[in-house]
Structure 1
């Protein structure tokens, strides 16, 4: 992709709308919609790197109640011709094809590679990557198995949503959000993951979410690991202007 003059690519992650309740997260949703309104003025594309919702499950004919403003704004931006790319996170890993059919937004369940103005990117949510975190990796395999999704679909949505909200907030093995402080480069699994990826292929920017900590860390020659932070306490986002990548606070 070649970025047009005076255009930029925007990145955001980990909004967790619905946590701890839909009512409590509503001001954050409003803030995010305002941000979308602003960046659409010069956006070449927008990348959402997962956990937009604290929980999301698509029944065959039902999706979670609420989030009308953010969904409507995404639809408006996409209808205007601006590409939006969505990467599934660990809290909305049961997303299927609703975004693709209703909003014309492609949904990715794993990392993707891109090249913008000659700069190479590896982009994803980041959960379950790198060494360690074996308990979550095993849990994710169970949750993403087709039989698990089929079984969960038999729960009435009122029961399913209430159960999911409880697990999302209370069970850190499932949520993957146990550590919210920087652990040092040797103990940050995503940093180790990026360094290993660079042993086989070079990227200028390796952009992820999941950790909820805004970070820009050099992981190789002309290579940076970037974590986008979140929209709970940091309200940070990434912007690439065709030459450099920068983390900003809204």
Structure 2
């Protein structure tokens, strides 16, 4: 994609809407919607890089109650012809067609490469990538197992969603944000993962969420790791102007 002059590409992740309660997260949701309303003026594309919701599960005819402001704004932006790309995170990995069918937003379950103005981007949420994190990797295999998802669907939504919301808030292993302090390059798993990917193919930017920390780390002279932070404490986002990708605060 060539970005038209004056247009930009935006990236955001880790809103965790609905946590710790819907009432408590509503001011954060309103702030996020206000940001979307601002960037739609010059957005060439918008990337939502996971954990938009603290919990999301799509039954055949039911989705979690709430998030009307966010979903409405995304529909408005999508209907205006601005492409939006959604990467599932560890909290909203149970996407099953709603975003594609209702909002015309493609959903990705694995990292994906994009090219903008001859700059290559490797984009994903980041959960379960890199060395270690073995407990979560085992848990993710359970969560994504078709049999487990089929069994979960047999729970009444009022019961299933309440159980999942409780676990999402209480279980730090599921949340993946119990260690949201910078661990140093050698101990940041996504940095190590990005460096391994660079051995196979050059990318200008590796863009991830999941860590809840705004980070910009040079991997070499021509490649950079970006972690987008979150919309809980930092309210940070990525902005690519056609030449450079920078982290900014709203």
Fold in common (TM above 0.5): yes
Q: Please show how residues 47-66 of structure 1 align to structure 2 within 5 Å.
A: 47-66=47-66
- The residue aligned with 2:202 is 202
**Runs of 4 or more consecutive aligned structure 1 residues displaced over 6 Å after TM superposition:** none
- In the alignment, structure 1 segments of 5+ residues that lack a partner are none
Superposition CA RMSD, Å = 0.5
Whole-angstrom CA distance in 2 between matches of 1:246 and 1:188:
20
Matched, 1:41 2:38: no
TM-score (norm. length: structure 1): 0.99
- Displacement, 1:41? 0.1
Unaligned ranges ≥5, structure 2: none
| Equivalent residues of 1:198, 1:220 under 8 A apart | no
Q: Output one character per residue of 1:204-247: Cα deviation in whole Å (capped at 9) or x when no partner.
A: 00000000000000012310000000000000000000000110
When normalised by structure 2's length, the TM-score is: 0.99
2:95 is matched with 95
Identify the residue that residue 161 of structure 1 maps to in structure 2.
Answer: 161
1:219-230 residue pairs with structure 2 within 5 A? Answer: 219-230=219-230
| Structure 1 residue 175 displacement after superposition | 1.8
Task: Quote the residue 2:176 is aligned against.
Answer: 176
What count of residue pairs does the alignment treat as equivalent? 250
How far, CA to CA, are the matches of 1:172 and 1:221 in structure 2? 36
Q: Hey, what's the Cα distance between the residues in 1 that align with 2:141 and 2:29?
A: 30
| Partners of 1:96 and 1:219 in 2: CA distance | 35
Q: How many Å separate the matches in 2 of 1:7 and 1:210?
A: 27
Question: What's the offset of the Cα at 1:86?
Answer: 0.2
